[in-house]
Structure 1
């Protein structure tokens, strides 16, 4: 009797087991966790709403199959689709963030470049004003040969190549100017009036140019930048028939190259 009862209850047990819910799918659990985690990412829906929609749809399909006790294979399939769509959405969101950060960095660099350019223009304007002021104070003239500064005879004692104190002060100011342009060549040309022999005037004019050169070097100007020439009574700037004219002709001219490293044109 008991044996027969056991045989009758066996099919019922099998039926009850078959009707029980499928155990939870690990793939479904992973898909749900991954989707929930993605939803926490700010802006991901804007980055790839379609993939996030696909991920949600596949996740809901996997849940439905799980609730309907369908095979794990089908549940895992849709769970896998949900995870993949979520991963793609996350990756596209990350790439868009990188693009945005790159664009922001580019805009920032451009802004900095504009600010630096504006700063350079301001500095150049200040430097130009400063240069103009210095040149005006030194009675300089801009020419094709370069910037010419003329030191008249008052800087030297009569018939002498030694600079007077007033001359030293003027040369000091010129040295300060030259030290602001350390890569420009300098030519010092000495001149005399027509009084005396050509040979003597040639020698005196060079000695005066060399005297100015030594003073510039003492004030920090590199001697490698400086060349000198004695031109005697050549190239007068005024008639030698009057004392006033001869005084103008007794002079030293300092020529500064117009550009860094550019040679000074010969007369």
Structure 2
């Protein structure tokens, strides 16, 4: 048998071809997804706020890497890479939402503490007034003076009640409430959220607190929270964004003491614009959340 002798150059070429055939494949999408996943991994806050979403992202990333290791087709690798990227995006968004909810909860705790301190002060003031009235009655020993004191206190209570009604009316006026064929409608514009974001701004939380205070005066009243966007971006994404914003408003009101059973939500995306989406001013008008108050029987007229 004739022995075949291979030159060093041929052996080197075989080694290179073997290495190329066994090296894992990759794609641009996979590389981008790997970098995004690395950034998320280096942010412990995301793992803390969205552990379940991060586990799903890690599992999806493993599938994408395994497809590359197995030298599957670029389409197959991109399919798993896109899935992983979607899961990573979901984890980041969930962490943002949870962080916003934590901020609202902390603000609620501070507000409750302030109210507790205010009530304590009012109790102390009422006790001091009662002590003063008792001492005055003992010194004067006069039925007439006691009657006058009772009348003054009654007048004071009536005045406070009237001031409360005036204050509530002023709050509704401050919220620019309008009477429409659907009932009383409060429109909250861009001040609630940042551009392309569903996290409430501090000034948005302040406005919602006014609404929560109004709702607490009438426990029978219900509301419908409707989210809207401008026409920038895809219709499906705008619908999702409007729903997320309506959910954020609902969550904030619940943390402020409004029962979940009193709140309904609906996202309309870019539907029902109040102005043509032809310039930035009109698009800003269309990026809004509308809150419809029910009638005395709790009924709300839907679109």
TM-score by length of 2: 0.46
Match of 2:302 in 1: 266
1:144 aligns with 2:166: no
Q: Could you tell me how far apart the structure 1 residues matched to 2:215 and 2:294 are? A: 10
For residue 222 of structure 1, the aligned residue among 247, 259, 270 is 259
Q: Could you tell me how far apart the structure 1 residues matched to 2:203 and 2:280 are? A: 21
Any unmatched runs of 5+ in structure 1?
1-120
Match of 2:107 in 1: none
Q: Could you tell me how far apart the structure 2 residues matched to 1:168 and 1:124 are? A: 27
Secondary structure in 1 matching 2:224: strand
1:193 aligns with 2:235: no
> 1:1-267 residue pairs with structure 2 within 5 A?
129-260=166-297, 262-267=298-303
Secondary structure in 1 matching 2:289: strand
Deviation of the 1:257 alpha carbon: 0.8
Deviation of the 1:127 alpha carbon: 6.1
C-alpha distance after superposition, 1:120-162 (max 9, x if no partner)? x999976653443121111111223222111101210110111
Match of 2:78 in 1: none
Any unmatched runs of 5+ in structure 2?
1-157
Q: Could you tell me how far apart the structure 2 residues matched to 1:186 and 1:123 are? A: 27
Secondary structure in 1 matching 2:178: strand
C-alpha distance after superposition, 1:140-187 (max 9, x if no partner)? 112232221111012101101110111111111111111111111110
Secondary structure in 2 matching 1:233: coil
C-alpha distance after superposition, 1:18-53 (max 9, x if no partner)? xxxxxxxxxxxxxxxxxxxxxxxxxxxxxxxxxxxx
| C-alpha contact 2:186 2:291 (8 A) present in aligned 1 | yes
Alignment coverage as a number of residue pairs: 149
Q: Which moved more, 1:167-176 or 1:141-150?
A: 141-150
| C-alpha contact 1:149 1:254 (8 A) present in aligned 2 | yes
Secondary structure in 2 matching 1:174: helix
CA RMSD in angstroms, aligned pairs only: 2.4
Q: Could you tell me how far apart the structure 2 residues matched to 1:130 and 1:258 are? A: 21
Secondary structure in 1 matching 2:181: coil
Secondary structure in 2 matching 1:248: helix
